[in-house]
Amino acid sequence: MKHFKLALSILLIGILSFTSCKENAKKEGSNTAEIPVSREMIAELTSPPNVPTPVGRRKAKKLIVNMEILEQEGELTGGVKYMYWTFGGSVPGSFIRTRVGDEVEFTLSNHPDNKLPHNIDLHAVTGPGGGAESSFVAPGHEKTFSFKTLNPGLYVYHCATAPVGMHIANGMYGLILVEPEGGLPPVDKEYYVMQGDFYTKGKNGERGLQPFDMQKAVDEKADYVVFNGSVDGLTGDNALTAKVGETVRLYVGNGGPNLVSSFHVIGEIFDKVHVEGGELINENIQTTLIPAGGASIVEFRVDVPGSLVLVDHSIFRAFNKGALGILNVEGEEDKKIYSGEIREGIYLPEGPGIQNMPTTDEIVESEIPAKSFDEQMKFGKQVYMQTCFACHQSEGQGIPNAFPPLANSDYLNADVNRAIGVVVNGLSGEITVNGDTYNSVMTKQMISSDDVANVLTYVYNSWGNSKEVVTKEMVEKVKNQ
């Protein structure tokens, strides 16, 4: 009997505790709606990869957000144009930073030159359509509505005008951050990164102004999967930067409209991950899933210098469709953390025979050939980033003891016809480049003669090389030998 009474007491205590917790949770949730606001404040809006100033310990405000919708042509990748529909003139749209308890007065303006009506659905909004019902606006008009930020977290916003998928696929998405009271802990660097998948009438790399392809979108067959709206949205001049010892926080969203992101930074481990952008924090994470229409906050400290590569680890999306970015880290090396190469040896588990990679005989000819040197450089960079980047790296530096450098390369500059032959026929066996010996396999590249000419022109006119201009006729001559 005593054991029965004890068990009953424990059960009752558990029920009361659970009920109390639920009531406290409800009370805390309702309290955020009661947080008073003091004064008005114009919201700072930023284009990616920048984020507004942290809220810190400021009090809740009446936050005025003014956002303009712009339909404008941009470049998806070299020579590939696309008509983006944007919030604030960028893809993703302007980053909005708030805190719990803010009263947001949101004005959405549809530029008079636009062709279509639009609206906005903010996942941070508690209300019909996340604001979509109140913000449907025709070109040349504007709508204003307001909402209270009740729940801290990182949230997606997007257009919800029918057909919803088409509006999102054309770039109409962004992030709104609701910081907790007192703000997030400070870090050294913060960046805004958002993935999206694009569907074009032409194949990947087909140049010219590409219309949206509804059937590909319905079938979820993306031609491009990119960060920040374009293949080079986070590379080259758009690469992120940090210094050794700094802490980095990435606000990462996934606009979709279809694909889930397996977000990973090559060469780093996430110290903290705010799972799906909420309060739950996971630690020591290699790759985090971000659903379409979802977000995550990842934090890490950079300890060694180098180029860290941001990818969707559904890896063909990274190296073949564009979901790839760079975080360049400067500073002193720390050999205790990462030694670099210690020794080199020979390993031939399959014998000394030459190993070949499978290839395809399908070559897609360029529909729009380059008409000038500048176009050759632009198109050539596009081919390089899609085809050569993984092995030869962003600045042509190569990978020591694996893939030779293209930067200031004596092997490359000595014989242009040999270089053309390497691209069109492949290469295996031992070669010497800048005094170092390499013995690896390069498969023949199944790209058009125009693309061979463009990519070699780009390489020859970059990184201290001989400034050779390669033509389609030169490529065809080597092919016919």
pTM as predicted: 0.79
CATH number assigned to the domain covering 189-330: 2.60.40.420
- Residue range(s) of every CATH 2.60.40.420 domain in the chain: 40-179, 189-330
Contacts of 248 (CB under 8 A, 6+ apart): 187, 188, 189, 190, 191, 242, 299, 300, 301, 302, 327
Strands 62-77 and 40-42: parallel
Per residue in 54-109, pLDDT (tens digit) is 999 999 999 999 999 999 999 999 889 999 999 999 999 999 999 999 999 999 99
Rg of the chain over Cα atoms, rounded to whole angstroms, equals 26
Per residue in 256-305, pLDDT (tens digit) is 999 999 999 999 999 999 999 999 999 999 999 999 999 999 999 999 99
CATH number assigned to the domain covering 373-479: 1.10.760.10
Within 279-372, residue ranges assigned H as helices are 316-321
Q: Is 56 left (phi over 0), alpha (psi -120 to 50) or beta?
A: left
Q: Are 264 and 287 in contact (CB under 8 A)?
A: yes
- Residue range(s) of every CATH 1.10.760.10 domain in the chain: 373-479
DSSP structure string for 16-28: HHHHHHHHHHHHH
Per residue in 224-255, pLDDT (tens digit) is 999 999 998 998 889 999 999 999 999 999 99
The CATH H-level (homologous superfamily) assignment of domain 40-179 is: Cupredoxins -  blue copper proteins (2.60.40.420)
Q: Confidence band (pLDDT; 50, 70, 90) for 26?
A: very low
Identity (one letter) of the amino acid at 314?
S
